[in-house]
Chains A and B, each alone.
Chain A
């Protein structure tokens, strides 16, 4: 079964792009392939001028670790770590010294409005707050490219808008943002939209 077919997509540096389509249309697969998490059977992925799947595993891991961030649809938070520790994790992996880690974590948590919740566990916060923790984890490392897979799913309208504002803010600070959604209202707020159905990119309906 082909998850993606004849995809030809180019995103410029500093752009914000919204990938819109129904569930099962291949958005997540396209994100994972684009972020270096899933090797495609055929085709090429160019990321920051490098052909991603021609790199060694280590080089690709390094590129992914140092330049990109991925906001997973399922959050992928570690329940036994506190909110602060979850946000700090990618910085530890990236090898930041402790002092800078503290500073970046504080700033990211402040940006998402969770500064007062940093000692809590992910299990102790709401679904919207979990999404914000997940976003804070991405923002803390200040990536050049941020892949946000359904960042507003299961969120009320107000929270979804706030989340989108945070992404736009990151974009305004220079990060390339690629996000996916199946919500037309969210897509409309982003503006730069590409539609996807059955693994193919489509023109506007």
Chain B
């Protein structure tokens, strides 16, 4: 009876129109949810309380921040900072965002296939969704590349992870590979994630310039200030005792004294305010040099100025007393450069008689060979085992098993690297290179901003689709409202078309309650069925018509659970049905 009162044709039309409008509303909802909620809240999946980006950078992907800042921030108590690179590239020919990370902590217990890579290698970890989308399996080799970068890298799929956010659509690579693929200059990252500090405090810290006053009593040599990546950021020559005031941004700095090949770390300082540092570089101090050699083979020490001095036998070694400088010690026909900047024990025999051959290669960060430098190797006790001025980038030493520290001095650089024998038989030491002076610290510091991950995501989203978050929300809200209005209009239209019949019922003595029981309640089942049908249709469109991919940006997809669409669809269907009751009994009380 209800079907006939509502007119069968009108019901059929209503069902079709309702199915279309509800499906449309569901799709708009997924768009709204996918873009406005998921994307603006976790686009790029930046963790951390605060994100440091380049001021004026349109997106995270085009941002450039100094890598040294991350290292310096870690020196602050309770602060953790990680540099990341985020680069839209292709993997196996399909677009995807590559994330270069310096720690895999976030992924450690989220691996669903394969295992967490432990070695420095050409590996890539894929998010579960990315793995499905790209069709790549564990162990596959895929080529990563970008039209913007000349780099093409073949990576092997080491595993897949599931974090439950948009990072599941990304590919994770070691930081160095991420930087290489992104074409980032040395010492530069896309963004830095920071935990353990307030945004305002961080912003104030990184935006300010501080005065570092260095007082010294030396009449010669140079002072070089290195940042946390050992990149020189300031330098001055000492001609007479005095003070120099340097303007530097926040950072962890090492102050190095340099004279000819003699380089010495004088002090390190975390610059968070205006600071003064007094350097004492006494010219006339005398240091002790203990040379391990047989009593029968006395070595000779030739000083920097060309004069020679004899050693004194002290029972197990020869002892020399000499001023600071880069001297030469001669054992028979063999000679070694000795940078004397403190009391030193020198034992060349340990090197000559050792079983393991170790190759130490010195190059610039961009891969170019470094020539003409001084390299010293000390054992775990600090004793000097070898000291060589090398014109070749490759130095070969025989070393006994143990831990060592190699120090490369090429003024103004002073780089130290620890290694273990026999585990590491090849050691590479890279000196920082300034490939793009306009983009490295400290100038880069003046272009930094600290933002929340949401703001960073919003800016990125805006740059990708050309709409600000506000306009996107307005657009999506409008579409949502329109789709909801459409559902309510269709629902209301069903009863409008049968309005005459309701008047007949009333004229025959039916009250509101009776009309609702006779007609309205009978359409609840239909509305529930339509809500379910619209959910099925929306999901089918998503799955079979590649709706997801049609709205994919740089490989990111949409994250709407089917249960959420079902809830929304049924809620809309029932709400519109419930409110339509008013239309069912128009003017019944008016007695017109």
Query: Chain A residues in contact with chain B, CB under 8 A?
Result: 36-39, 57-58, 61, 64-66, 70, 72, 76-78, 80-81, 85, 89-90, 92-94, 137
How does the 8 Å CB contact mask read for B503-514 relative to A, with 1 for contact and 0 for none?
111011111001
Among B8, B508, B514: residue with most chain A CB under 10 A: B508
Contacts known (A37-B591, A78-B4, A80-B7); A89 close to B507, Cβ less than 8 A: no
Q: Are A76 and B507 in contact (CB under 8 A)?
A: yes
Q: Are A80 and B509 in contact (CB under 8 A)?
A: no
Point out the residues of chain B lying under 8 angstroms from A94, CB to CB: 509
Among A39, A61, A94: residue with most chain B CB under 10 A: A61
Q: Are B507 and A72 in contact (CB under 8 A)?
A: yes
Q: Are A81 and B4 in contact (CB under 8 A)?
A: yes
Point out the residues of chain A lying under 8 angstroms from B591, CB to CB: 36-39, 57
Instruction: Give the Cβ gap from B585 to chain A, nearest Cβ, in Å.
Output: 12
Instruction: Give the Cβ gap from A69 to chain B, nearest Cβ, in Å.
Output: 9
Q: Are A58 and B511 in contact (CB under 8 A)?
A: yes
Instruction: Give the Cβ gap from A44 to chain B, nearest Cβ, in Å.
Output: 16
Question: Which single member of B4, B8, B509, B518 contacts A90 (CB below 8 Å)?
Answer: B509
Question: Which single member of A61, A78, A89 contacts B511 (CB below 8 Å)?
Answer: A61
Question: Which single member of B8, B503, B508 contacts A93 (CB below 8 Å)?
Answer: B508
Instruction: Give the Cβ gap from A162 to chain B, nearest Cβ, in Å.
Output: 24
Q: Are B507 and A85 in contact (CB under 8 A)?
A: no
Point out the residues of chain A lying under 8 angstroms from B8, CB to CB: 80
How does the 8 Å CB contact mask read for B1-29 relative to A, with 1 for contact and 0 for none?
10011011000000000000000000000
Q: Are B1 and A64 in contact (CB under 8 A)?
A: no
Smallest CB gap from B7: residue in A: A80
A78 to B87 alpha-carbon distance, docked (Å): 68
B589 interface hit (Cβ, 8 Å)? yes
A76 to B504 alpha-carbon distance, docked (Å): 6
Q: Are B1 and A92 in contact (CB under 8 A)?
A: yes
A185 to B378 alpha-carbon distance, docked (Å): 134
How does the 8 Å CB contact mask read for B377-397 relative to A, with 1 for contact and 0 for none?
000000000000000000000
Instruction: Give the Cβ gap from B282 to chain A, nearest Cβ, in Å.
Output: 109
Point out the residues of chain A lying under 8 angstroms from B510, CB to CB: 65, 93
Q: Are A89 and B7 in contact (CB under 8 A)?
A: no
B592 interface hit (Cβ, 8 Å)? yes
A204 to B589 alpha-carbon distance, docked (Å): 38
A10 to B99 alpha-carbon distance, docked (Å): 94
Q: Are A78 and B509 in contact (CB under 8 A)?
A: no
A57 to B514 alpha-carbon distance, docked (Å): 14
Point out the residues of chain B lying under 8 angstroms from A38, CB to CB: 591-592
A94 to B507 alpha-carbon distance, docked (Å): 13
B501 interface hit (Cβ, 8 Å)? yes
Q: Are A78 and B514 in contact (CB under 8 A)?
A: no
Instruction: Give the Cβ gap from A25 to chain B, nearest Cβ, in Å.
Output: 21
Instruction: Give the Cβ gap from B496 to chain A, nearest Cβ, in Å.
Output: 15
Among A38, A66, A78, A137: residue with most chain B CB under 10 A: A78
Q: Are B505 and A89 in contact (CB under 8 A)?
A: yes
Point out the residues of chain B lying under 8 angstroms from A78, CB to CB: 4-5, 501, 504
Question: Which single member of A57, A64, A77, A81 contacts B509 (CB below 8 Å)?
Answer: A64
Contacts known (A80-B8, A92-B1); A57 close to B504, Cβ less than 8 A: no
Besides A36-B591, A39-B591, A61-B509, 20 more A-B contacts (Cβ < 8 Å) are A38-B592, A57-B589, A61-B511, A64-B509, A70-B507, A76-B503, A76-B507, A78-B5, A78-B501, A80-B4, A80-B8, A80-B501, A89-B504, A89-B508, A90-B508, A90-B509, A92-B1, A93-B505, A93-B509, A137-B508
Q: Can you report 21 A-B residue pairs in the complex whose CB atoms are below 8 A from each other?
A: A37-B507, A38-B591, A57-B591, A65-B508, A70-B507, A72-B507, A77-B504, A78-B501, A78-B504, A80-B7, A80-B8, A81-B1, A81-B5, A85-B1, A89-B505, A89-B508, A90-B508, A93-B510, A93-B514, A94-B509, A137-B508
A61 to B512 alpha-carbon distance, docked (Å): 10
A36 to B503 alpha-carbon distance, docked (Å): 15
A66 to B518 alpha-carbon distance, docked (Å): 18
Q: State the interface size on chain B (CB cutoff 8 A).
A: 19
Point out the residues of chain A lying under 8 angstroms from B507, CB to CB: 37, 70, 72, 76
Instruction: Give the Cβ gap from A1 to chain B, nearest Cβ, in Å.
Output: 16
Q: Are B592 and A80 in contact (CB under 8 A)?
A: no
Point out the residues of chain B lying under 8 angstroms from A65, CB to CB: 508-510
A140 to B509 alpha-carbon distance, docked (Å): 14
Instruction: Give the Cβ gap from A48 to chain B, nearest Cβ, in Å.
Output: 15
Point out the residues of chain B lying under 8 angstroms from A70, CB to CB: 507
Point out the residues of chain B lying under 8 angstroms from A81, CB to CB: 1, 4-5
Smallest CB gap from B518: residue in A: A92
Point out the residues of chain B lying under 8 angstroms from A39, CB to CB: 591
Point out the residues of chain B lying under 8 angstroms from A64, CB to CB: 509
How does the 8 Å CB contact mask read for B474-511 relative to A, with 1 for contact and 0 for none?
00000000000000000000000000010111011111
Instruction: Give the Cβ gap from A67 to chain B, nearest Cβ, in Å.
Output: 10
Point out the residues of chain A lying under 8 angstroms from B592, CB to CB: 38
A85 to B7 alpha-carbon distance, docked (Å): 14
A76 to B507 alpha-carbon distance, docked (Å): 9
Smallest CB gap from A80: residue in B: B4
Smallest CB gap from A95: residue in B: B514
A57 to B510 alpha-carbon distance, docked (Å): 12
A41 to B518 alpha-carbon distance, docked (Å): 33
A66 to B510 alpha-carbon distance, docked (Å): 11
Point out the residues of chain A lying under 8 angstroms from B505, CB to CB: 89, 93
Instruction: Give the Cβ gap from B520 to chain A, nearest Cβ, in Å.
Output: 15
Chain B, range 557-592, C-beta contacts under 8 Å to A: 589, 591-592
Point out the residues of chain A lying under 8 angstroms from B501, CB to CB: 78, 80
A92 to B4 alpha-carbon distance, docked (Å): 14
Smallest CB gap from A39: residue in B: B591
A107 to B97 alpha-carbon distance, docked (Å): 80
A137 to B509 alpha-carbon distance, docked (Å): 13
Point out the residues of chain A lying under 8 angstroms from B4, CB to CB: 78, 80-81, 85
How does the 8 Å CB contact mask read for B530-568 relative to A, with 1 for contact and 0 for none?
000000000000000000000000000000000000000
A158 to B511 alpha-carbon distance, docked (Å): 38
Point out the residues of chain B lying under 8 angstroms from A66, CB to CB: 509
Chain B, range 7-59, C-beta contacts under 8 Å to A: 7-8
Point out the residues of chain B lying under 8 angstroms from A37, CB to CB: 507, 591
A137 to B507 alpha-carbon distance, docked (Å): 12
Point out the residues of chain A lying under 8 angstroms from B5, CB to CB: 78, 80-81
Point out the residues of chain A lying under 8 angstroms from B511, CB to CB: 58, 61
A92 to B515 alpha-carbon distance, docked (Å): 11
Point out the residues of chain A lying under 8 angstroms from B589, CB to CB: 57
A178 to B344 alpha-carbon distance, docked (Å): 131
A137 to B505 alpha-carbon distance, docked (Å): 12
A94 to B1 alpha-carbon distance, docked (Å): 15
Smallest CB gap from B506: residue in A: A61
Smallest CB gap from B4: residue in A: A80
Instruction: Give the Cβ gap from A12 to chain B, nearest Cβ, in Å.
Output: 24
Smallest CB gap from B503: residue in A: A76
Point out the residues of chain A lying under 8 angstroms from B504, CB to CB: 76-78, 89
Instruction: Give the Cβ gap from A93 to chain B, nearest Cβ, in Å.
Output: 5
